[in-house]
Amino acid sequence: MTDIIIPVLMVGVLIYAAIKRVDVFEAFCDGASEGLKTCADILPALTLLIVCVGMFQASGAVEALTILLKPICEAVSFPPEAVPLVILRPFSGSGAMAVYNEIAAANGADSFAELVAATLIGSSETTFYTIAVYFSAVKAKKTRYATAAALTADLTAWLVCGITVKLLLGA
């Protein structure tokens, strides 16, 4: 069934366009042109974000914050091995996945640290990346309360992940 969904959808769009007498090629070209303009508008924000994340990682700030946050992590049943994930997740999805892979490789699959890291990946967002992309796409200059709300949600995910995994494991 899944093999025919895309072809059926394409044929359906072409039939609908023929009934409505829409020039499909022109509509496609207009949409592609708008998409390229959106990419051009978003590119500076994404470039800045990627450079900043690279600099942040290379500076050693991630390691310093990991040491600083270790006592808080232990107080909320969060494994210190997963702190780099907490720090990088709001900035970079691919960076967070690389950190997750390191956690899984170092601690083993189904370890407490790996399960908490997997839960955090699934319950948090790449906040700054998302804000950069979506606010740039609509040319919004002020994020108002979006950044604070999103970071509050990330903080909540961080605080609750360790406790949740601990409760579900029955430990």
Percent of the chain with pLDDT over 90: 29
1 vs 100, higher pLDDT: 100
pLDDT value of position 117: 94
User: What do you get for the CA distance between the two ends of the chain, in Å?
Assistant: 43
pLDDT value of position 159: 86
- Residue 147 CB neighbour total at 10 angstroms: 15
How far apart CA 5 and CA 136 sit, in angstroms, is 33
pLDDT value of position 95: 81
- For 38-59, the pLDDT digits (tens) are 888 878 877 887 788 778 878 9
The pLDDT of 103-122, averaged and rounded, is 92
How many domains is the chain built from?
A: 1
**Which domain range does residue 121 map to?**
2-169
Residue 10 pLDDT > 70? yes
Specify the 3-state DSSP secondary structure of 21.
coil
| Alpha-carbon Rg for the chain in angstroms | 21
Q: What sign does the dihedral 117-119-122-123 (CA atoms) show? A: negative
